[in-house]
């Protein structure tokens, strides 16, 4: 359906014609085919992501969501109706925001896959540019791991649920955090550095950049809000998981080193914050000690 037959040729004979059609558009992104991925490795072949810059596209998308949220009550309610539509659409805002974060996160440790035949030049697999990977991580730090206050609407929440906004924010943050710290992604980053040296975005560099975002308040002197405390717990829990679930690779050692760095950093910041922040920091030190030296 939709194809014009090549007449007077056998299936084998028409292959040369078909190949010429393909080669005529070699390198043209409009004709590129990207396969469906159960786990996204190639960030240029993602569902609901047609652009070539996920950071720019997601920036525009978030700007639109920031315009939507203040108008949701007006747009979803009418006299004598309940707030079910408001609840549904507010949930869709979270889903779309989460989708943007996923599109960006998949560039970190990403590998492009461009199908080629043996007579075409160039690599089939190539790692995402180092700077772009870092920019994507910093974008997530700014847009998600810095508490997205614009998404937290008391006016909406007091109409759709008795409680739950803390869990909603934590779910999006934790999902993206665990995605960034997936073992397969981390292993690709280790391999990239092994193959390409300083041209690669090293896993240790990514871990440092991630720490600077998740634990930003340790360097700014600010108190740590509820949302960020939950994110920091999730970070420690994920590192603990990586220490116990990975096979013979550098991931376990890097995770241990990151926990040790965190413990020393957190311990040095106790005492200069409000009560709940200090309680949280002391608890983090105790949790990390238990992970590093289980009794």
Whether the CB-CB separation of 201 and 138 falls below 8 Å is answered with no
What is the Cα–Cα distance from 230 to 9, expressed in whole angstroms? 66
* Radius of gyration, CA atoms only, the chain: 24
What is the Cα–Cα distance from 278 to 20, expressed in whole angstroms? 68
Band (27; pLDDT cuts 50, 70, 90): confident
* Contact residues for 69 (Cβ-Cβ < 8 A; gap 6+): 90, 93, 150, 151, 153, 156
Residues 112-162: tens digit of each pLDDT: 887 787 878 888 889 999 999 999 999 999 999 999 999 999 999 999 999
Task: Provide mean pLDDT across the span 271-289.
Answer: 95
pLDDT at 222 (0 to 100): 93
Helix spans in the chain (H): 14-24, 54-68, 72-76, 84-105, 130-140, 154-160, 165-180, 183-196, 203-214, 217-220, 226-245, 250-269, 275-292
Task: Provide mean pLDDT across the span 254-283.
Answer: 95
Domain regions of the chain by residue span: 1-162
Q: Greater confidence, 47 or 188?
A: 188
pLDDT at 108 (0 to 100): 97
pLDDT at 37 (0 to 100): 66
The tokens for 221 are 């002197």
What is the Cα–Cα distance from 170 to 163, expressed in whole angstroms? 13
Rounded to two decimals, the pTM is 0.89
Helix (H) or strand (E) run with residue 71 in it: none
Query: Please, what is the end-to-end C-alpha distance for the chain in angstroms?
Result: 67
Query: Given a cut of 70, is residue 10 above it in pLDDT?
Result: yes
pLDDT at 223 (0 to 100): 95
Task: Provide mean pLDDT across the span 182-194.
Answer: 95
Residues 60-119: tens digit of each pLDDT: 999 999 999 999 999 999 998 899 999 999 999 999 999 999 999 999 999 988 778 787
pLDDT at 3 (0 to 100): 67
Task: Provide mean pLDDT across the span 188-214.
Answer: 97
The tokens for 94 are 């979270």
Exposure string of 156-168, with b = 16+ CB inside 10 Å and e = fewer, is bbebbeeeebeeb
Helix (H) or strand (E) run with residue 126 in it: strand 125-127
pLDDT at 19 (0 to 100): 82
Band (8; pLDDT cuts 50, 70, 90): confident
DSSP class of residue 46 equals: B
What is the Cα–Cα distance from 177 to 171, expressed in whole angstroms? 10
The tokens for 69 are 């949220």
């Amino acid at each position: 359906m939709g194809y014009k037959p090549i007449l007077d040729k056998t299936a084998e004979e028409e292959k040369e014609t078909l190949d010429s059609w393909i080669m005529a558009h070699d390198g043209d992104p409009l004709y590129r085919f990207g396969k469906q991925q159960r786990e996204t490795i190639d960030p240029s072949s993602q569902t609901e992501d047609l652009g070539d810059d996920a950071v720019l596209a997601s920036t525009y998308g978030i700007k639109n969501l920031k315009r939507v949220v203040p108008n949701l009550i007006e747009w979803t309610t009418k006299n004598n109706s309940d707030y079910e539509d408001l609840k549904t659409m507010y949930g869709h805002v979270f889903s779309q925001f989460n989708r943007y974060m996923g599109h960006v996160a998949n560039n970190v440790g990403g590998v492009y896959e461009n199908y080629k035949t043996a007579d075409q030049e160039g690599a089939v697999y190539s790692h995402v540019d180092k700077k772009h990977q870092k920019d994507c991580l910093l974008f997530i730090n700014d847009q998600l791991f810095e508490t997205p206050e614009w998404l937290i609407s008391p006016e909406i929440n007091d109409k759709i649920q008795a409680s739950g906004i803390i869990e909603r924010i934590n779910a999006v943050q934790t999902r993206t955090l665990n995605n960034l710290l997936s073992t397969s992604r981390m292993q690709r980053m280790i391999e990239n550095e092994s193959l390409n040296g300083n041209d690669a975005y090293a896993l240790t560099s990514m871990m440092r950049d991630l720490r600077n975002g998740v634990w930003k308040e340790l360097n700014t002197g600010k108190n740590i809000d509820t949302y960020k405390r939950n994110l920091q717990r999730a970070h420690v829990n994920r590192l603990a998981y990586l220490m116990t679930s990975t096979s013979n690779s550098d991931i376990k050692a890097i995770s241990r080193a990151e926990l040790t760095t965190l413990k020393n950093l957190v311990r040095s910041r106790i005492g200069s914050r409000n009560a709940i922040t200090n309680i949280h920091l002391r608890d983090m030190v105790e949790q990390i000690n238990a992970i590093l030296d289980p009794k």
